[in-house]
Amino acid sequence: MRDETIREIEQFLYREARLLDDRKFHEWLELLTDDIRYWMPVRSNRYPVNSKAISILDGSRYEENELSKEGELAIMDEDKDSLTRRVDRLDTGMAWAEDPPSRTRHMVSNVLLEPGDKDSELKVYSNFIMYRTRAETEVDFYVGAREDVIRKEDGQWKVAYRKIILDQTVLLAKNVSNFF
Amino acid sequence: MIYPGNGHCFVGLGPEEIGDPPVAEILDYEKEIKAEYRERLGPRVDLVNPLAGTIFPNFSLLRAAGRTFRVWHPKGPDAVEIWSWNFVDKAAAPQVKEAFRLAAIRGFSPSGTFEQDDMDNWQGCSQAGRGTVSRRQKLNIQMGIGHEGFDERLNAWTSEARLSESNHREYYPRWAQLMAGTEWA
Q: Is A86 in CB contact (< 8 Å) with chain B?
A: yes
Would you say residue B156 has pLDDT above 80? yes
Give the confidence band of A48 by pLDDT, cuts at 50, 70, 90.
Answer: low
* Integer Cα distance of B147 and B165 in angstroms: 11
Q: How confident is the model over B15-34, as a mean pLDDT?
A: 90
Q: Which amino acid is at A38?
A: Y
Per residue in B78-119, pLDDT (tens digit) is 889 999 999 999 999 999 999 999 999 999 999 999 999 998
Asked if B120 and A73 come within 8 Å (Cβ–Cβ), the reply is no
DSSP secondary structure string, B127-144?
HHHTSHHHHHSPP---TT
Give the confidence band of A54 by pLDDT, cuts at 50, 70, 90.
Answer: confident
Asked if A75 and B123 come within 8 Å (Cβ–Cβ), the reply is no
* Integer Cα distance of A153 and A162 in angstroms: 16
Minimal C-alpha gap between B148 and chain A (Å): 32
Would you say residue B185 has pLDDT above 60? no
Does A141 or B128 have the greater pLDDT score? Answer: A141
Q: What is the pLDDT of residue B45?
A: 85
Minimal C-alpha gap between A118 and chain B (Å): 28
Q: How confident is the model over B137-159, as a mean pLDDT?
A: 93
Which residues of chain B have a Cβ shorter than 8 Å from any chain A Cβ? 81, 85-86, 98, 101-102, 104-106, 109-111, 113, 115-117, 119-123
Q: What is the pLDDT of residue A65?
A: 75
- Among A77, A82, A85, A136, the residue to mutate for chain B (most B Cβ within 10 A): A77
In sequence order, which ranges of B42-167 are alpha helices (DSSP H)? 94-107, 115-129, 132-136
Pairing of strands A32-41, A156-166: parallel
Q: What is the pLDDT of residue B9?
A: 96
* Integer Cα distance of A11 and A108 in angstroms: 11
Consecutive H or E run containing A139: strand A138-153
Asked if A95 and B101 come within 8 Å (Cβ–Cβ), the reply is no
**What does DSSP assign to residue A101?**
P
Complex ipTM, two decimals? 0.91
Nearest residue in chain B measured CA to CA from A179: B111
Does B139 or A134 have the greater pLDDT score? Answer: A134
Would you say residue B178 has pLDDT above 70? yes
Would you say residue A62 has pLDDT above 80? no
**At CA B106, angle to CA B102 and CA B112, rounded to 5?**
145
Per residue in A22-33, pLDDT (tens digit) is 999 999 999 999
Buried b / exposed e across A136-147, counting CB within 10 Å, b at 16+?
eeeebebebebe
Q: What is the pLDDT of residue A57?
A: 81
DSSP secondary structure string, A35-74?
EEEEEEE-B---HHHH-HHHHHH-GGG--S--BPPTTS-E
Minimal C-alpha gap between A148 and chain B (Å): 20
Q: What is the pLDDT of residue B184?
A: 61
Q: What is the pLDDT of residue A86?
A: 97
Closest in B98, B102, B113 to A86, CB measured: B113
Minimal C-alpha gap between A77 and chain B (Å): 7
Query: CB-based contacts of B50: which residues, under 8 Å, 6+ apart?
Result: B10, B11, B12, B13, B19, B61, B63
**At CA A88, angle to CA A32 and CA A40, rounded to 5?**
50
Question: Is residue A13 within 8 Å of A124, Cβ to Cβ?
Answer: yes
Q: In chain A, which residues have their Cβ closer than 8 Å to the Cβ of B96?
A: none
Asked if A175 and B101 come within 8 Å (Cβ–Cβ), the reply is no
Minimal C-alpha gap between A74 and chain B (Å): 7
R_g of chain A, CA atoms, integer Å: 18
**What does DSSP assign to residue A133?**
E
Does A174 or B185 have the greater pLDDT score? Answer: A174
**At CA A89, angle to CA A88 and CA A95, rounded to 5?**
150
- Among B109, B114, B121, B127, the residue to mutate for chain A (most A Cβ within 10 A): B109
